Amino acid sequence: MKLTKNIEHISRLIKEGKFQNALDYIHSKRTDTKLEEIEDLSYDIKIGEILRQKGEFHNLIKYSKRIQKKSNQLNEKIFEIHGLLFEIFANYRLNNQTYVTKLINKTEQLIENCDETIIEPLLIRLLAYKSFVLSALGDFKSSKETAIRCYEQSLEYNEPELISYSLYVYGIISFQIGELDDALESFMKSLEKGKDLISLYDTGNVFFGLGYVYKNKGNLEKAFEKFKR
């Protein structure tokens, strides 16, 4: 129960973009008490989330491997999948798409052997990343199909933050294939669904997407307005 409250507090700090406060809080918990291995892993995952949002992708890869190694030793598959997702995202952003494809295949196999209810949020995140990678590889048809599946899975899970994120993903893919009206609609719905729920990081990404849509539609005034947000 105490760990849950600590994690919730860290999550709130990350959502508000207070990364250093979150890191300081984690450090204090690690300094003040002797942690169980699962507790330590839980804090590692929060640090991974901070590195992801800060764009420190090389550090994130190192941290993701640390999470996977510790998870493997403890036979904690859920934590291992968290580590793999961090590694997938970081390598995608560093344009290592061939390697990412192998990581995605490995993660899919792990997910197949996990409890469906617990794993659902991680599956949604995996589908999102897979959609991005397929688009980067030029397979726009499969990318769009995967983005649609990501959205459908989020609706089944019925978590507003994940629905908002999946709409953002669909907006990104729609923009990349030139379907600007679909992209605009998806981004707007993402903001509506995630209002007061999603992090400053995710909100900023949606506004950035909107800015590019308006720029490509020739509405530079609106584009500038969204970029400023």
**What are 151-161's pLDDT values in tens digits?**
999 999 999 99
Place 46 in a pLDDT band, splitting at 50, 70 and 90. very high
- Residue 118 and residue 18: Cα distance in Å, rounded? 28
This prediction's pTM: 0.92
**What are 197-220's pLDDT values in tens digits?**
678 888 889 999 999 999 999 988
At 34 the pLDDT is 79
Instruction: Look at residue 182 and tell me whether its pLDDT is greater than 90.
Output: yes
Mean pLDDT for 81-87 is 97
CATH 1.25.40.10, domain 121-229, yes or no: yes
At 229 the pLDDT is 66
At 1 the pLDDT is 52
Instruction: Look at residue 87 and tell me whether its pLDDT is greater than 70.
Output: yes
Average pLDDT, the chain: 92
Q: Hey, where are the domains in the chain?
A: 121-229
- Residue 47 and residue 26: Cα distance in Å, rounded? 8
Instruction: Look at residue 21 and tell me whether its pLDDT is greater than 60.
Output: yes
Q: 12: closest CA among 29, 25, 27?
A: 25
At 32 the pLDDT is 72
At 117 the pLDDT is 66
Alpha-carbon separation of residue 203 from 20, 47, 68, 136, 168 (angstroms):
20, 20, 29, 23, 10
Place 2 in a pLDDT band, splitting at 50, 70 and 90. low
At 116 the pLDDT is 63
Instruction: Look at residue 177 and tell me whether its pLDDT is greater than 70.
Output: yes
Determine contact, residues 97/136, Cβ cutoff 8 Å: yes
Provide the phi-psi class of 158: left if phi over 0, else alpha when psi is between -120 and 50, else beta.
Answer: left
